[in-house]
Amino acid sequence: MTHIINLYTIYKCLTDAAFRKIYKEKKRLQRSKRYKKGTTSLLGNTLTYVDANTCYYGYLEIFEKQPYKFIADNNNPYIIDCGANIGLSILYFKSIYPRATIIAFEPDPDIYKVLQTNIESFKLTNITIHQAAVWTYNGSLDFQIEGGMSGRIPKITDKTNIRKVDAIRLKDLLVQPIDFLKIDIEGAEYEVIKDCAGLLYLVKHLFIEYHSHITETQKLDELLNILTAQGFRYHIHEAYTVTSPFVNQGDMLDMDLQLNIYAKKV
C-alpha cells in the first residue's frame, strides 16, 4: 500500500519549504474553478478530484480536524463508509489503520470512477466499493447529481440533474460487529438510521452528518432518541448554521442546519 501522509505528526517535522509547498497547494485548490477535474499531491501521492473546492474543504475537515479519529480494539477494524465521495475518508481510515477492512458506497457515477482511481493510485487493499446509495430497500431510486460533495436523494427543490442509481439496504449489511459506521448521505440519514435501529447494537462508533432541509420536518429529536435507545452516548458539533436564524432561511442547498453527530457505545 502506498504511504499516506499522516497528519498527526506532519506539521511537527515539516521544513519551512515543505510547509510552504502544502500551503501553496491548498491555496491553489481553494482558488481553482469549481467542478473541474484535476489532481493534487497533498497526501503524498496523486489524488484525483472532481471539484477542487470539495477536495480542499474535505482535506481540511477530514485530515486536519480529524472528525473520524477513533480508537479501535484491534489493528484491523471493520468500517462501513456511506458517502465515500472521492475517497478522502477512506484514505484517512487507512492512514490510521492500514489493515482496516472497509466497505464503501458512492452513488454518483462520475465520482465513483474517481474513487476507484484513488484507491488504485494509493494501492489500498481490503476495500470493497459499491456504486450505489445506501437506503431502506434494495433496488433503484432517483439521485440528484451535484458534482461535488452534495449529491443526494432529491428534495422537493431539486429539479435538474436527476438520475436513477442503484440502492442497497444498509440494514442487510449489519450482520457482524462494526468498529466504525460513517453515514454522510446528504439528508437521507434519518430514514436509514430508523430502518437500521434494531441492529445498531452491532456498531461501536457511529458518525452521522445530520441535514435539515427547509421544506421538511426536522427529525433531529427522533434520531437522537434512537441513538439513546440503542445504548449510544452522543456528542454534537455544528457543521453549518445560518446567521440570525429567526429571519434567515438556509442558503446552502436549502438547508438551515447541518450537524456532525458522534455516537459511541457505552
Nearest-angstrom CA–CA distance, 104 and 118: 13
Task: Give percent above pLDDT 90 in the chain.
Answer: 81
Pairwise CA distance, residues 227 & 234, whole Å: 8
Nearest to residue 209, comparing CAs of 250, 239, 232, 233? 239
Q: How confident is residue 19, by pLDDT bands cut at 50, 70 and 90? A: confident
pTM value > 0.85: yes
Lowest mean pLDDT among 13-17, 73-77, 221-225: 13-17
Q: Which residues pair with 40 in a beta bridge?
A: 47
Domains present along the chain, CATH in parentheses: 67-265 (3.40.50.150)
- For residue 69, which amino acid is it? K
CA terminus-to-terminus distance, the chain: 34
Written as nine digits, the cell of 105 is: 458506497
Q: Report d(CA 183, CA 188) in Å as an integer.
A: 9
**With bands split at pLDDT 50, 70 and 90, how would you rate the model's confidence at 103?**
very high
pLDDT higher than threshold 60 for residue 92: yes
Residue 115 or residue 22, greater confidence:
115
Nearest Cα residue to 165 out of 222, 245, 83, 232: 83
In this predicted model, which residue has the larger pLDDT, 58 or 14? 58
Mean pLDDT of 75-90: 98
* CA dihedral sign, ordered 254, 232, 167, 66: positive
Helical H runs in the chain?
10-13, 16-31, 52-59, 88-96, 109-121, 189-196, 220-229
253: phi then psi, degrees, rounded to nearest 5: 55, 35
Other Cβ atoms within 10 Å of 160 Cβ, number: 7
Which of 105-109, 201-205, 249-253 has the lowest average pLDDT?
249-253
Q: What is the pLDDT of residue 25?
A: 92
